[in-house]
Amino acid sequence: MKERIPTYEVITFGCQMNDHDSEVMAGMLESLGYEPAASTGEADVILVNTCCVRETAENKIYGLLGRLAHLKDKKDDLIIGIAGCMTQQPEVARKIKNRFPQVDLILGTHNLHRLPELLLQVRKCRERVMEVWDQAGEIVENLPIRRASRVKAWVNITYGCNNFCTYCIVPYVRGRERSRRPEDILNEIRRLVQEGYREVTLLGQNVNSYGKDLPEPTSFARLLTEMDQIPSLLRIRFTTSHPRDFTQELIDTIARCPHVCEHIHLPVQAGSNRILKLMNRGYDRDYYLDLVKRIRQAIPGVAITTDIMVGFPGETEEDFAQTMDLVERVRFDGAFTFVYNPRPGTPAARLPEQVPDEVKSERIQKLIERQNEITLAHNQALVGRVEQILVEGESKTNPEMMSGRTRTNRLVIFPGSRDLAGQLVNVTVTGARLTHLEGKLAATV
């Protein structure tokens, strides 16, 4: 009788960094002989990769753990593990251990590479395991990985963050900034290109400060220049950029390198100098507006997206009005908007004058409504134009259609054959929605 192959599922919350970590977790599980499960209920191992940047994400994760308890009741040998940013907070890890006995394995962000050993320990000893390192060790290279796409890939260039914005928990759960060696990054990208990947997105909490901590300091601009010379790599993206470290050298490099896409995610967070100072962002609105101006002058057609927070402690109507004014001045192509909620352990959580929830709700709705109007106007301006698309595969919402992205990172849905995946094609934009463009195939590039 053929031996049954064990299965797994990784459930991910949070940012692109977490998406990439989950790909690594999946790769490590498959190196142990596991295969993806057809459904959550059929999995032998369920791993939850967590986020603690927003309170709403934490609440969703607690709810999920409660629901997974029912699966554990039906399947005694099921292993449930939890990892990521939430567990890196000691009080949260203890809470999970005490309140959720169905969780067999708890590990943090710094010891993700230990997953295979810890999982085998749980399986062999049939006991709960909790291992969360206080500090990050050396960067572990060449971990197995199961990438979600066959066309585009995430590649970490830094881990951790040194900025300590007063509202942000990331430096406490991801550690201080650590850069990978450029040769390790470039070798990984060359292997990806050999495997057929055509687009790479570089990841870091602040990619702009890449290389400052290395024994032989280098710069993000220099890394982009070397990447741009790799044959058959069609597109280069990166996220996230901190405005404070966005140098003129970097602007000129993006403008000069043909494979670096004309899309920059540049979180502003607020338009009020007073609030920016309280946030410890390290720049003011005039600096940010001048930076946007210099970027647009050097990179024609560039798309600039951003993050904007509403309801930071002490935010007045005038402060919010200045944020709305900045939105009008910049006219972002898109924005991730959210309300401030206190993160225990961060300085902002201890600030006086916490903004009432009803005020936050009113302000965020006003911001979303206006930004949506601007985003839609940007998209509508593209109708009739021919855009170069890197085809990613079938549309997630309509398998009869294909999907891909413009160089400015706009999603385009269009009719076409499946064998176009991984190719550059020209698409004439025929319609514009808030979240995507519609088009028809023009000609292969």
Structure tokens belonging to residue 216: 């032989």
pLDDT at site 119? 96
- Regarding the domain with residue range 152-381, which homologous superfamily does it belong to in the CATH classification? tm_1862 like domain (3.80.30.20)
Give the separation between CA 445 and CA 438, rounded to whole angstroms.
Answer: 19
Identify which of 167, 165, 173, 63 has the alpha carbon closest to the alpha carbon of residue 109. 173
pLDDT value, residue 2: 61
Query: Does 52 count as an annotated binding residue?
Result: no
| pLDDT by 10s per residue, the chain, length 445 | 467 899 999 999 988 999 999 999 999 999 999 999 999 999 999 999 999 888 888 899 999 999 999 898 888 899 999 999 999 999 999 999 999 999 999 999 999 999 999 999 999 888 899 999 998 888 999 999 999 999 999 999 999 999 999 999 999 999 999 999 999 999 999 999 999 999 999 999 999 999 999 999 999 999 999 999 999 999 999 999 999 999 999 999 999 999 999 999 999 999 999 999 999 999 999 999 999 999 999 999 999 999 999 999 999 999 999 999 999 999 999 999 999 999 988 999 999 999 999 999 999 999 999 999 999 999 999 999 999 999 999 999 888 999 999 999 999 999 999 999 999 999 999 999 999 999 999 965 5
How many C-beta atoms lie closer than 10 Å to residue 317's C-beta? 9
Helix (H), strand (E), coil (C) string for 22-61 = HHHHHHHHHHCCCEECCCHHHCCEEEEEECCCCHHHHHHH
Q: Is 261 annotated as a binding residue?
A: no
For 385-441, CATH number out of 1.10.600.10, 3.30.300.30, 2.40.50.140, 2.60.40.1180 equals: 2.40.50.140
CB 154 within 8 A of CB 19: yes
Shortest CA distance to 14 belongs to which of 48, 44, 53?
53
How much is the pTM? 0.94
pLDDT computed for residue 444 by the predictor = 54
Instruction: DSSP letter for 420, please.
Output: G
> For residue 433, what are the β-bridge partners?
none
In angstroms, the first-to-last Cα distance of the chain is 52
pLDDT of residue 184: 98
Cβ–Cβ under 8 Å, residues 292 and 178: no
pLDDT of residue 349: 94
Give the other-Cβ count within 10 Å of 432's Cβ: 19
Q: What is the enclosing helix (H) or strand (E) of 444?
A: strand 437-444
**Residue 161 assigned as binding residue:** yes
Distance (Å) of CA 260 to CA 46, 182, 364, 371, 428: 37, 17, 33, 26, 22
The structure tokens listed for 188 are: 């990984």
pLDDT tens digits, one per residue of 392-421: 999 998 889 999 999 999 999 999 999 999
Q: What is the CATH number of domain 7-131?
A: 3.40.50.12160
Question: In the chain, where does the domain assigned CATH 2.40.50.140 lie?
Answer: 385-441
* pLDDT, position 445: 52
User: Where along the chain do the CATH 3.40.50.12160 domains lie?
Assistant: 7-131
CB 217 within 8 A of CB 171: no
Residue span(s) of the chain under CATH 3.80.30.20 come to 152-381
Residue pLDDT, tens place only, 276-289: 999 999 999 999 99
